[in-house]
Structure 1
């Protein structure tokens, strides 16, 4: 039924609703403005008191109102399905009070995970959620897994983010992105092993709207497919001229549009190659250290010994999905944005600054039940959000300072320790045996370090082995400390 404006749900309409003896759900579709949101809130409260057992929801409007949306689409059936599938409960969204300070609970027990709304209303949401992500099967790498979760969660917002998870072959990068994607509502997740050159152009106009896309092997994509993906990431839309047949069988040209508001997770062995061409993409290195390997093996052994209940993992995943469904989409305002500055040493500082601000907004978004709203219904960032975002994003910031990518940096730090401990020159064979890595992978590392002039050849023979020495003994630890101090001092000044 059509109301006469947001104030026009009159007595006649209300009487008609009362006469529906089998009423199950009331769905609102008001304008996408302050008046529309206020009307939704007021009527949701009214009908909740009149019909306590009726579900009350609202559907997302992309532009000003549903008529404008329909004008802009050539696939009306697809549009209607989209908005109905994405309708959201209104009752839990009408009031988002700032939570009272209370003593935080200890690590959440899976048997207590029954109320996602209560979970979001309690303090320390980020920390408790990160513990649940660990229970869901992602071992270690606490900051990286939380960053990946925040990036993936951005599919709900107007400016989604993207992650390139980089690591050597067999490092577990595909496992990580798939487990993170498991935490999202599965009706919103699309997983691809490969993408053909023209396939992204052939989706329906809204098929990729508010979705999570997982690409298990970015290195296997051909250039045309990569170009389409870059366009989606940069502009959120693909426009193409296609040939179709009319009713008489004649060919004619047509304009096809695919809108792509989605976040993405991609696995790659050479992340920097793609990162340079993809705006809003975060490069995240898999931790390939011996310590992380020990954690993974210990988890695998405990699981195989029956010490880890698989039901605990399933319950954690299901609960996190409910938490995601319980979030309301807000715009975020950061009143401290002009006072935040990254270190001058950071490469591509303009792009990283935008990403830094985006992660702060994502942390605020996840803390929405702890935050105040502006008069325009926007979430307000607090210093705690900045502090949490800085901690979570720190490794990615360090990667931007470093000209070595994540796995190459980890290898070079191991190499420096080995060479310093034993002798100054080295050969590939001894490094391959000491570090237990493949010949192909080691050759990639050596070639990259030679090209960047971190090592050089000092002799040897091709048939007996080439000898190398380290040319540049950089102090990576010092860099890390300087960056951390810069960011933390900045936050202390805000406090």
Structure 2
């Protein structure tokens, strides 16, 4: 192999990755001298390096020689062995049915000729030949180097959750035919392969200009059965939202007369094959080692992109046992899975066909918003089409509905179009099947009991409300809750236990949030997440302000200072999107009025009865009378229930017929929160609610009844001037002392509070004029109840108002 061929086929970026060197702003600390400040500049696009301190410069071979301190001959042999090893790895990856991470046909030898009956020849005007595959391989090597040099492309990869050190990805900046690189041969071959298009354009300099194929696009190779690159796919990194791409402009580009598949032809011994709808979805799964090791993958070319070549590949897999669809969850994706399932069943009647139900729109969005471990569980719980081979014995256990998730109406009749029978692959080992559980008529009661099995004792309405608030992170308008209670009352415990019931890949727990930390997350790091703040009292005002903005607008926008490649400061616009639900705990409710106005308030039950329940549970647990495995199974099963919930738009036809009382503070905001809880109850009952022709869930009167019951105490807290703990403290004083005077020691005996907390509460009640302070400090104050607000009367009136409205609704039904 000639030295020039080695230099052409190996990139400096690959050498740096091989040695574990990570340039920052194209700079490294020079390894040839004691370099305290990075002075070695690497040009990944042109494949050379230069140290501005010692003056050393060179190409990829020189880099190997300098870094390993070996001779030129040894460096050449090292580069050869590196290329040959990569070639062997590439062939091994193709045999296993996965693309070789980060390598592209690295040998300097010519690719094999295409056989005449092979339909995998690339586009060439007037014919085909072996040079096209070699040329596209060289171009991909160039595009891979260009990716390292483009921050927008790297940022886009990070945003999409793709790892270019594992995947074979390049970037077309549109400059490959400019400057020193431009030759007649390059232009000629680019025109013949379609990388350049002659549109009769004239450059500003007067010379000929060309339109660039897939400009500003990520580049993915399409390969034939010989593992040669025979075409490429380009995915634009521009978006209409950034005002860089005109609305309606295509984001997907293929060379004409497209052939080949992504990532490569699968191993002939493949047993399980995953089909994705898009190449980026396939790449998302390909970078997960467990999936690479256990499945082969092929990407279709869009919703209707299972072409003849892919079908022929599947038919020729003699050892194939199962085909797994991992398509989008929209109407088009559901429809084509039904269509292709029937098609494949006709050609391969003995093969199993299954589909994966994703929690998000598609595979890549699921990867962005979850840990990659979720795909292992999703694949394990995939749904088999046409059969009941999971042993459940129920062929129509679930229904696959075009345009929606699995759904049954309240009458157990399928709503939707042209259902195809499918069954769950693996029923739960805990409480049965999650979807069966969600179909129960008394779902909320059963769910509440299951939450108690998971270890949350008492607080029956509060725990259910907190659960509904938390699962709203799946919706476009998530909810937020603040749990208020005295020190040691268990407020942090309950929000932590609720968080345990959620899929843990979606939960972020914080003890403290600094003033600027929320502004420094990635754009989608807080998208569809659950945030648990263990102590709201530890947040400073700037952090509380950022949290309020997130709750109100779901986005933070900040002007920040960054350094450019030359080290100069410049301003930049940073955006963090925050579609998350949150739970937080505090002892000082009234200090966070702005936050509380935007959140549901839940007061910890500090009654003697609740205390007895908790102590009894703790004693039974310590005595070994409680089986911890039952608690763990309940937690695991609730997590599966959450994963089986899908997002729907909810229509409440009764929204104008039920009103909150007039004496509620912040009635406008509370009304919206009240309607939100009704929607959450409708959503959790989605397997029992009717679906409109527009794929919207319809609220029932029963949902409103449940919302009133669950939210009643939170509405009372909104009406009440006192927060939850202070109200419970005051009610104990009223019950015991009525008209008589009392000292703080008397109050301590009645309420059970210690001196410091008790004095805070007494002072608050004096300030709010609920208590009158009598006497002098040096002789000890006495107190007397000065205002009896009769909260029980308020509660009764509110309950009667809601009951009357609900009865009127039922009478009209």
- The interval holding the TM-score normalised by the smaller chain is 0.7 to 0.9
- CA distance 1:24–1:186, shift in 2 (3 Å): farther
Q: Which has the higher helix share?
A: 1
User: Equivalent residue for 1:454?
Assistant: 770
For residue 442 of structure 2, the aligned residue among 118, 124, 138 is 124
User: Equivalent residue for 2:679?
Assistant: 361
CA distance in 2, matches of 1:158, 1:289: 37
Q: How many residues align?
A: 466
8 Å Cα contact 1:151/1:163 also seen in 2: yes
| Greater CA drift, 323-332 or 3-12 | 3-12
For residue 408 of structure 2, the aligned residue among 82, 89, 97 is 97
User: Equivalent residue for 1:486?
Assistant: 801
8 Å Cα contact 1:164/1:267 also seen in 2: yes
- Unaligned residue ranges in structure 2 (runs of 5+): 1-276, 279-299, 346-350, 384-397, 414-427
CA distance in 2, matches of 1:18, 1:137: 51
For residue 45 of structure 1, the aligned residue among 303, 323, 338 is 338
Q: Is 1:439 matched with 2:755?
A: yes
- CA distance 1:79–1:56, shift in 2 (3 Å): closer
- CA distance 1:327–1:388, shift in 2 (3 Å): same
CA distance in 1, matches of 2:792, 2:341: 58
CA distance in 2, matches of 1:389, 1:45: 37
CA offset at residue 196 of structure 1? Answer: 1.1
CA offset at residue 48 of structure 1? Answer: 5.0
8 Å Cα contact 2:430/2:633 also seen in 1: no
Larger radius of gyration: 2
Aligned-partner SS, 2:687: helix
Q: Is 1:406 matched with 2:724?
A: yes
CA distance in 2, matches of 1:211, 1:342: 30
Aligned-partner SS, 1:113: coil
CA offset at residue 288 of structure 1? Answer: 0.4
User: Equivalent residue for 1:71?
Assistant: none
CA offset at residue 29 of structure 1? Answer: 3.7
Q: Is 1:472 matched with 2:790?
A: no
CA distance in 1, matches of 2:794, 2:314: 66
8 Å Cα contact 1:40/1:90 also seen in 2: no
- CA distance 1:385–1:411, shift in 2 (3 Å): same
Aligned-partner SS, 2:356: strand
Cα RMSD (Å): 2.7
For residue 426 of structure 1, the aligned residue among 723, 735, 742 is 742
User: Equivalent residue for 1:60?
Assistant: 360
Aligned-partner SS, 1:425: coil
* TM-score, scaled relative to structure 1: 0.88
Note the 1:382-397 alignment, pairs <5 A.
382-397=700-715
Aligned-partner SS, 2:781: strand
CA distance in 2, matches of 1:332, 1:16: 43
Aligned-partner SS, 1:239: strand
CA offset at residue 364 of structure 1? Answer: 0.2
CA distance in 1, matches of 2:789, 2:683: 38
Note the 1:84-483 alignment, pairs <5 A.
94=401, 95-100=406-411, 113-277=431-595, 280-420=598-738, 424-459=740-775, 461-483=776-798
CA-to-aligned-CA distance 1:424-463 (integer Å, 9 cap, x gap): 001112211332212111111111111111111232x313
8 Å Cα contact 1:426/1:468 also seen in 2: yes
- CA distance 1:19–1:212, shift in 2 (3 Å): farther
CA offset at residue 198 of structure 1? Answer: 1.2
8 Å Cα contact 1:332/1:379 also seen in 2: yes
Aligned-partner SS, 2:486: coil
